[in-house]
Structure 1
């Protein structure tokens, strides 16, 4: 099924289940920036709209309705995606609106939502970057079954941990993060070195390997 057919059916299915302002908001609000995100980022990466809800209504901390651009709600996962243009979200925003936006995002986090924002400029001009970041995010929620997939996931988790630590990563860091023994941690680190993601950092008289540094700093090179 191509994008146009799948998208039309998806929107129709949501319109048929809505009434009042929830329906009107979808009819009025599903415009260029959101369509561009779906066409150039979401569809090429995911290939379907399952569990994705457009113009999703939630209440803010004042009890007022707020319509998120998209909400992805598979099982117990709750992620809100916003496509933010520079004009309405930066250039034309006054102090009160700025405070309200930050408070709303914080409130949504307390309600169990993870709020992810993409700039309109990146969606329009650098969709491959958005796809890479989105792939990294969604990979954390994919069901893992086979042992080879589990091993691949461990590698991804270690690379993410290395970015988060912002310092050389040690086997002990991997042991604590993944709950594995020392030998398994070293094996994962060695495999990432072979793949070119990490590099050993010899130290001491015997030049033993106690630490590993990032060999790449471009997340887009990783095939998540």
Structure 2
């Protein structure tokens, strides 16, 4: 099944399950940006449209209903909300109160447990490879692990995420504290990452002793 066939089946399924305004929105809105995101970004990553819900209804902090472009509700993970924002609609045509409401709504949704991702329409349309790379990094933290007994790859990926958050060369002690590991186990994981060329040593002091490590170029692909 190609994307167009999968998209038609996906929309027909949700139209059949809905009534009233929620059904009407799927029948009357063009959903151009939403379909572009699914075709240019989501389909190349997942190859399916499972667990997605178009025009997902939520409420803002005032209790007012609001429809968001898409929601991803995979069992075992928080619900991820997607918004594709065009520059004209969301920036140039927004007044100060609208801007304030937008930020308050996003803050509220994060506070009640949703994960909200806003994407620029121009990136989705013209630079989908960038969005794909960033989205793979984002989704990696929610992927179910079918072989929980093999902890080493999970620890290695968490070390890369830690390095990305620190945004500086990191020390073994940073890893030990973050993962609650002893020095020997920490060094085992770091040596594995060195062998895979996902991190690089940073030498310091006499004898070129390695004190710090830094991410190698492209290390985020290890999180895919």
TM-score if structure 1 supplies the norm length?
0.91
Cα separation, 2, equivalents of 1:222 and 1:153 = 11
1:39 lines up with 2:39 in the alignment: yes
Aligned CA distance change for structure 1 residues 47 and 179 (closer, same or farther; 3 Å): same
- Identify which range, 17-26 or 190-199, moves more after superposition: 190-199
Unaligned runs of 5+ in 2: none
| Match in the other structure for 2:14 | 14
| Match in the other structure for 2:27 | 27
The answer (yes or no) to whether the contact 1:29–1:55 under 8 Å persists in 2 is no
How big is the shift at 1:223? 6.2
1:60 lines up with 2:53 in the alignment: no
Matches within 5 A, 1:12-161: 12-76=12-76, 77-146=78-147, 150-161=151-162
Cα separation, 2, equivalents of 1:29 and 1:100 = 23
SS in 2 for 1:167: coil
Q: Deviations over 1:46-71 (max 9, x none)?
A: 11111111100001011111111111
- Identify which range, 32-41 or 21-30, moves more after superposition: 21-30
Aligned CA distance change for structure 1 residues 176 and 125 (closer, same or farther; 3 Å): same
The answer (yes or no) to whether the contact 2:55–2:70 under 8 Å persists in 1 is yes
Q: What is the number of residues matched between the two proteins?
A: 223
SS in 1 for 2:207: coil
The answer (yes or no) to whether the contact 1:144–1:150 under 8 Å persists in 2 is no
Aligned CA distance change for structure 1 residues 184 and 211 (closer, same or farther; 3 Å): same
Cα separation, 1, equivalents of 2:195 and 2:149 = 17
| Match in the other structure for 2:4 | 4
| Match in the other structure for 1:170 | 171
TM-score if structure 2 supplies the norm length?
0.91
Alpha carbon RMSD of aligned pairs, Å? 1.9
Cα separation, 2, equivalents of 1:219 and 1:183 = 23
